[in-house]
Amino acid sequence: MLPKNAPLNSFDWMVVKPSLEEELTLERSIRSIEDCDNVDVLSQLCVAMVRQQWHQGKLLKQAVGHIALLDAVLSGGERKS
């Protein structure tokens, strides 16, 4: 349930605010990749990242559709057949 003073069209929840620990972990991972000289390892990493990106894209598309449906129901915008 939204707080009473929160606007219904607020998209503030979509702003990514990483913690310092998350930023440092990300930077450590990036530096590890940049320091890798093994082409086979880098190739496998790229393949895994493309697969993961595709899966996350599909999941995100489904989630946004589900959120839109819930928003329509909550705001009374759903049409009745």
Q: H/E element holding 58?
A: helix 39-74
Burial 14-53 (b: 16+ CB within 10 A, else e): eeeeeeeeeeeeeeeeeeeeeeeeeeeeeeeeeeeeeeee
- For residues 79 and 32, give the distance between their C-alpha atoms in angstroms, rounded to a whole number: 52
Whether pTM > 0.85 for this model: the answer is no
29/7: higher pLDDT: 29
pLDDT at residue 26 tops 90 = yes
CA distance to 4, 12, 48, per residue, from 8 (Å): 10, 11, 38
Q: What is the mean pLDDT of residues 13-40?
A: 95
